[in-house]
Structure 1
Amino acid sequence: MPADQTRHEPKREPGGRSFSEENVALRIAWEMRRRGWSQERMAQELTNAGCPTHQSAISKIVNPRPDGSRRAISVDEAIALARVFGIALEELPLPMDDAQGRDLHDLSRTVTHEGRNATEQYAHFLLAWARLRHRLTHQDSRTAYEGFLVQRKVDPDTAEQAIAFWRDADSWREATAAYDVLHRILRAMGDGRDLTPPAHQSRRRHSVVADLVRLRDLFATKIPGSPVRVVPDLIYHATELLVRAGIQEAAIGVIDAYDRGTAHPTDPVVEAIERRLRQISDRPPQDRWDELESLAARIALHWRGHEPRRSPEELAAELGVSIEDYQEARRFGGMTREIGAR
């Protein structure tokens, strides 16, 4: 036989078993455990996959004899096993470390995929709670809700506790905290290749000016210039900004109107945004962060999103600040936080 056609025997254990066959047996036992399948169920699954198998055959494969040997696995059985487990045939004899690693990676991809699909539901959750809290601030709404619950045979004390829960600030923070953590993890994972956790230190403080500027552009320009049917999507994508900036109360009327397919004036929301910017601009700074945030708010109010085409030196001079502070505040006012609401 020519040298290049020499047959290479598979590596064997001391007992004479092929390592790959041993791996297949271990893989079958592991797949059964993680699925909660009995030997009877495993045999039935193989039978359903076109390879009639008895429970005793599964027992002889997964339970070694006293000498360490196991029942051999046929090619037909290997093909059926790969089909039942939903894996490629070549993966079946791989070491268990590879199998568990791939399984965990598949789970992480599922979490990432489902998390991305949950983004819209997250927005609906935030807005629904914001609407509920907004409406329950009115006594007539609370009375109507209490009356409805009593008609449904709900104890009055229980109804009162439910309303208190929906309005409680702590319950809101606790409910959004879980989404906050989930969003951070999913954004850190990205497409599954980058599993580096997010840097918490750089995200402990966040300037709300950037959120307010983006919201002002949304309510002052994009919504009035967009067809009614597309506005709900614009708002849902800005839900976290509304919550972080505390503008959801002012926006409830606009949100409800566009959900009904009716245009609604956005001027009150823009006015509420500019009031927040003025508050930030006028407050006495406590540190460098506050100083930059205050200047960023001044810039946002002064140019209203339409900075003149002049040199940064001229623009800084118009506000009476140094060019260094002006440029740093401009960068500061452009920061956005890509994690869930707090």
Structure 2
Amino acid sequence: KNEIAVSWWSYVSVFKWSGHRYKTIGKPYLVSSRSGRWGGSMDCYIGDCDNDGENELIVSNGAYSDDIPEILILKWNGKDFYKYAEWNDNGRNGIYMAGLGDIDYDGKNEIVCGSGRKIVILEWNETKKSFDSTILEHTRDYPFACVCKDSDMDGKPELHLGFSTPRIEIFKWNGTNYEKIFEKEWPGEGGLIEGLDVGDTDSDGTNEVCAGTNYVHILQWNGTSYVEEYVIPTFGTLAVVAVGDIDNDGKNEINAGSVIADHGQNYMTWIFKHGYTIPEDKEERIEPHWRSGYRNRMDRSKTWERYWAEEIEITWKWSVGPGDRAELYVNDKLVESKTGVGEETITVYGSVVQARMVTDEKGKKTAIDKYGIYGCGIDSLVFRATKTK
């Protein structure tokens, strides 16, 4: 039976379904140094890292102290979790999402993690009861995510890496060494944190790579390379992108969740399903009558989203002086930037909309408008499931 492991602050806990509710098994494990300094648990993973046929709890941590092991392995003794092994990258403070899989096809699993600006492969040494480490590469930016899964459908896992830039790299063992077979960067988008996973998201029998920035990029192997076949707009910066069958219909969904949200943006979790159908004539009109304020060099509206929508009709107005701008963003991209005074109704393709007033804060602003606002306002939004033009 499966359990759920959760890492938080400097603790890691494991929950088990009792038939009525989830209960903690054992005591929450405190990650700390010998001197009592707390370690900062980032992520955790359940899998067999010592190849004994039984799963261990792999905890990545160390953000608050360089004397905390970056990788901590916990085993269950029937009553509690105890420290079984560790790997410490001296002088480094913490790692995030470690991956596990047989990436060199020798029948034994390896742990892959990003520590500092390098990728490290950890292989269990049964004689020493510790890990042998190999540096795969030194990197120009921080490696957040490591995923060991089969994305080219040859039955063997590849190594997928996600970086803060944001970008991804994919490596494959060629029998002698690890060969980089793909690299992709998305300049100007939100950082790729732990938002990386692999799975069949469209039920075509072929796995896709899902990379989360402030968008979910879906890429598929075409026999020679990975090509982007779909992009899902979100907002904020995603720390969660997980592929799995959430509704138990035999088909996978994508779960995405944000860890960084800007003013006007809620922290969100989304579930996206391929092939989910809605009536073509579906339409929803809302009248928020939002008006910007004058503070913090920028004021942003809330973010309105209807993920079934293909098109949005927006009625908005603006009234700004020299040096200031009224802006309209759709699917997290700038579509209108206005100065002076005006109003309009526009139709754009998308499902997510936000208005922003940007000011240089030079001098006192005097209302110059006929609308009773300084900045911009959203009067009405019409979301449509089908494009009208």
Provide the TM-score with structure 1 as the length reference: 0.22
Which structure is larger by alpha-carbon Rg, 1 or 2? 1
Higher relative contact order (CA 8 A, sep 6+): 1
* Bigger helix share: 1
